C-alpha cells in the first residue's frame, strides 16, 4: 500500500495553481530518501502568468507610501512567528534539518530580518537637494527597480527566500520567486502567509508569486522580458548562466554564489576554543553553507595538536534524525549532493589523510559523517573547489605571508576568518584577505544590519543590511529651474 503524496502548487496572483500543462516532479525528504510530495514543473505559460501578475501589481505597490509597505512586512513577520511550527515542519521535511535547530537558528533571524527591512522601507531616500548649477536645484529620487525574478537555493530555502523577498518588497518591487526543485515546500507555505497578509491589508496578492520548477523554469524567468532584475543564490555555474541570459536585455543582476572560506589559525590561538567554534561552523547544516568553515589553514607549530583536537571534535559531532535534539546537522540535501561529496573523498590524493569520518552513515537518507582531511596541498581539488558537505580540510602554513597567499589562492571570495590574540596581526589580515567578510576569532555569525556578499566568483551584490536594500533600488536625478 502506497501513501498518497502531498500536492504542492504554484502561487500566482493570489491563487494556488498547478502547472498549466499539468507536469509535476516528486519532492524527496533527504532524511528518508523517499518522496513525500509532488510540485509543479512550471513552463513558459506559468512564467508568463506569474510575470503578468507581478507586473500588474507593481504600480500600486510602488506608489504606496513607505509606511504602508512597512505595515505589510511587520504583519508578515508577526505571521511567521504565529505559524512558526508550520514553517519548521515544512523546512525539516524539505531539508531533513533537525527540528530543534530550525526552531532556534532559523525562525528568529528570519523574523528579525523581515522586521529590519520593514524599517528600511522608510529609508528610501537620496542625498540632500542642492544647487550645483546657477538657477537650478537638483534632487535625487530613489525608486524600486520593478518586477524581480528571484531564484533561491536548497541549503536554506526559507531563509534565502526571506533574504530575497524582504528587501525587494520593502523597496517597492514586486516578486516572482522560484525555490529549488528539491525544496519547494516551505516557500509555498510562505506564499500562503504573505498572500493572506496582502489580502487582509487590501493589497494585490500579485505582489508576491511563487513558481515551482527546475533549471529550465529559472532560465525562462531570467530571460523573460518583464523582470527588471534577476537575483540568484546558487552555484558559480548557475550564476554565470544567469548573468549571460540577463545580459541579452541588460537586466540588473544580483548574484550570491559559492564560497571556499579560509579559516586561518595562528599559533597564539586558544586551540580548544578555536576547535570548538570551527567544528560547529564547519559542520552546521551538513557544511551546506557558502560561508562554512571548511578550509582550515593552521600554523605549522600547532598543526598536529590542532588536527588531533579537530578529529576528536568530529568524532563527537552527531548527525541523525530530525527529532533528535542532540544532533548538529541532518542529511545532505539530495542524492546528487551525496554523490558529489563522496566523489571528493574518493578522489583524494595519496598524500591526504582522513583523520575522521569520510563515509556515508545510516541505512536510509543522505547522511554523511563529520569528516576531517589533513596533509593537503594548495592545488588539491578538495582545497580549490567547494565540497558543500560536512568535510573540513586542514593545511599547514609557515608564516603570515604564506597564510595570506594560500587563503586568497582560490576562485571564491565570500567569507573568511582569522584566529589570533595579536590585534595588529588581525587588522593586517582583515585588510589583505580578499573576501567580502572577515571574522576575527569567530566564524559564521550574521546580523541583519551588516552586508553579506562576496567578490570574484562568489558573485556581486549584497544581501542583508542597507547595502542589500539599495541593490533593489535605482537612482533618478531630477533638476528643476528656479526661474519658475
One domain for residues 309 and 362? yes
Is 482 inside a domain boundary? no
Is 282 inside a domain boundary? yes
One domain for residues 202 and 275? no
Please give the distance of CA 470 from its chain centroid, rounded to a whole number: 18
Strands in 10-12's sheet, in edge-to-edge order, are 15-17, 10-12, 208-210, 174-178, 147-151, 229-233, 252-256, 459-460
One domain for residues 186 and 289? no
One domain for residues 51 and 172? yes
Instruction: Assign residue 10 a region (left: φ > 0; alpha: ψ between -120 and 50; beta: otherwise).
Output: beta
Is 453 inside a domain boundary? no
One domain for residues 55 and 187? yes
One domain for residues 234 and 294? no
At residue 1, the pLDDT reads: 43
Dmax (CA) for the chain in angstroms is: 83
Note whether 443 and 277 are within 8 A (CB): yes
C-alpha cell at 69: 509597505
Is 184 inside a domain boundary? yes
Domain around 284:
262-447
Distance, in Å, from the CA atom of 64 to the CA atom of 77, rounded to the nearest integer, reads 19
From start to end of 135-228, where are the E strands?
Answer: 136-144, 147-151, 174-178, 208-210
One domain for residues 136 and 266? no
Distance, in Å, from the CA atom of 169 to the CA atom of 161, rounded to the nearest integer, reads 12
DSSP 8-state symbol, 290: T
C-alpha cell at 266: 595562528
CATH of the domain at 395: 3.40.309.10
The model's pTM: 0.96
Q: What Rg, from alpha-carbon coordinates, does the chain have?
A: 23
Q: Which residue has the cell 528568529?
A: 108
DSSP 8-state symbol, 4: P
256 as an active site residue: the answer is: yes
Distance, in Å, from the CA atom of 39 to the CA atom of 93, rounded to the nearest integer, reads 14
One domain for residues 35 and 169? yes
At residue 126, the pLDDT reads: 78
* Residue among 90, 218, 92, 203 nearest 153 (CA): 218
Is 483 inside a domain boundary? no
Is 1 inside a domain boundary? no
Tens of pLDDT, residue by residue, the chain (484 residues):
456 899 999 999 999 999 999 999 999 999 999 999 999 999 999 999 999 999 999 999 999 999 999 999 999 999 999 999 999 999 999 999 999 999 999 999 999 999 999 999 998 887 888 999 999 999 999 999 999 999 999 999 999 999 999 999 999 999 999 999 999 999 999 999 999 999 999 999 999 999 999 999 999 999 999 999 999 999 999 999 999 999 999 999 999 999 999 999 999 999 999 999 999 999 999 999 999 999 999 999 999 999 999 999 999 999 999 999 999 999 999 999 999 999 999 999 999 999 999 999 998 999 999 999 999 999 999 999 999 999 999 999 999 999 999 999 999 999 999 999 999 999 999 999 999 999 999 999 999 999 999 999 999 999 999 999 999 999 999 999 999 7
Per DSSP, what are the bridge partners of residue 353? 374
At residue 2, the pLDDT reads: 52
One domain for residues 268 and 252? no
One domain for residues 197 and 280? no
Task: Please count the other Cβ atoms lying within 10 Å of the Cβ belonging to residue 455.
Answer: 13
One domain for residues 376 and 408? yes
Is 197 inside a domain boundary? yes
One domain for residues 294 and 343? yes
Distance, in Å, from the CA atom of 465 to the CA atom of 467, rounded to the nearest integer, reads 5
DSSP 8-state symbol, 361: E
CATH of the domain at 235: 3.40.605.10
From start to end of 427-472, where are the E strands?
Answer: 437-440, 455-456, 459-460
Q: Which residue has the cell 505597490?
A: 61
Which residue is catalytic, options 148, 290, 386, 437? 290
Note whether 265 and 302 are within 8 A (CB): yes
Distance, in Å, from the CA atom of 74 to the CA atom of 305, rounded to the nearest integer, reads 49
Which residue is catalytic, options 91, 93, 256, 386? 256
Element (H, E) at 381: helix 381-384
Number of domains in the chain: 2
Q: Which residue has the cell 561552523?
A: 281
- End-to-end C-alpha distance for the chain, whole angstroms: 81
Amino acid at each position: 500500500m502506497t501513501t498518497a503524496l502531498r500536492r504542492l502548487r504554484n502561487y500566482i496572483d493570489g491563487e494556488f495553481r498547478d502547472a498549466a500543462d499539468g507536469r509535476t516532479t516528486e519532492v524527496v525528504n533527504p532524511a528518508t530518501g523517499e518522496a513525500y510530495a509532488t510540485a509543479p514543473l512550471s513552463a513558459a505559460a506559468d512564467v508568463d502568468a506569474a510575470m503578468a501578475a507581478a507586473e500588474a501589481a507593481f504600480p500600486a505597490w510602488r506608489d504606496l507610501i513607505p509606511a504602508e509597505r512597512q505595515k505589510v512586512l511587520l504583519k508578515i513577520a508577526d505571521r511567521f512567528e504565529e505559524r512558526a511550527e508550520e514553517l519548521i515542519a515544512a523546512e525539516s521535511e524539505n531539508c531533513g534539518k533537525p527540528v530543534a535547530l530550525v526552531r532556534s537558528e532559523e525562525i528568529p533571524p528570519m523574523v528579525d530580518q523581515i522586521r529590519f527591512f520593514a524599517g528600511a522601507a522608510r529609508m528610501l531616500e537620496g542625498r540632500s537637494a542642492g544647487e550645483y548649477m546657477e538657477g537650478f536645484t537638483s534632487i535625487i529620487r530613489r525608486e524600486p527597480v520593478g518586477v524581480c525574478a528571484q531564484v533561491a537555493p536548497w541549503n536554506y530555502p526559507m531563509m534565502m527566500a526571506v533574504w530575497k523577498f524582504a528587501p525587494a518588497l520593502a523597496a517597492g518591487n514586486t516578486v516572482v520567486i522560484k525555490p529549488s526543485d528539491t525544496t519547494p515546500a516551505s516557500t509555498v507555505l510562505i506564499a500562503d502567509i504573505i498572500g493572506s497578509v496582502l489580502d487582509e491589508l487590501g493589497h494585490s496578492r500579485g505582489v508576491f508569486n511563487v513558481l515551482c520548477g527546475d533549471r529550465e523554469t529559472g532560465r525562462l524567468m531570467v530571460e523573460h522580458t518583464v523582470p527588471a532584475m534577476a537575483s540568484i543564490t546558487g552555484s558559480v555555474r548557475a550564476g554565470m548562466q544567469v548573468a549571460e541570459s540577463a545580459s541579452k536585455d541588460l537586466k540588473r543582476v544580483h548574484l550570491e554564489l559559492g564560497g571556499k572560506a579560509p579559516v586561518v589559525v595562528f599559533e597564539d590561538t586558544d586551540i580548544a576554543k578555536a576547535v570548538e567554534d570551527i567544528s560547529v561552523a564547519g559542520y552546521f547544516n551538513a557544511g551546506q553553507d557558502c560561508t562554512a568553515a571548511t578550509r582550515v589553514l593552521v600554523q605549522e607549530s600547532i598543526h598536529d595538536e590542532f588536527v588531533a583536537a579537530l578529529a576528536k571534535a568530529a568524532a563527537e559531532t552527531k548527525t541523525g534524525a530530525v527529532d533528535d535534539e542532540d544532533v548538529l546537522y541532518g542529511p545532505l540535501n539530495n542524492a546528487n549532493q551525496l554523490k558529489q561529496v563522496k566523489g571528493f573523498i574518493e578522489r583524494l590524493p595519496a598524500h591526504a589523510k582522513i583523520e575522521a569520518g569520510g563515509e556515508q552513515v545510516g541505512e536510509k537518507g543522505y547522511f554523511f559523517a563529520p569528516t576531517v582531511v589533513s596533509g593537503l596541498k594548495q592545488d588539491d581539488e578538495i582545497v580549490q573547489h567547494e565540497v558543500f558537505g560536512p568535510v573540513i580540510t586542514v593545511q599547514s602554513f609557515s608564516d603570515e605571508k604564506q597564510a595570506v597567499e594560500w587563503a586568497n589562492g582560490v576562485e571564491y571570495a565570500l567569507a573568511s576568518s582569522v584566529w589570533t590574540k595579536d590585534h595588529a596581526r588581525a587588522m593586517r589580515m582583515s585588510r589583505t584577505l580578499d573576501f567580502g567578510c572577515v571574522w576575527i576569532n569567530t566564524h559564521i555569525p550574521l546580523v541583519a544590519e551588516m552586508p553579506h556578499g562576496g567578490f570574484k566568483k562568489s558573485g556581486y551584490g549584497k544581501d542583508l543590511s542597507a547595502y542589500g536594500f539599495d541593490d533593489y533600488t535605482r537612482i533618478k536625478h531630477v533638476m528643476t529651474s528656479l526661474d519658475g
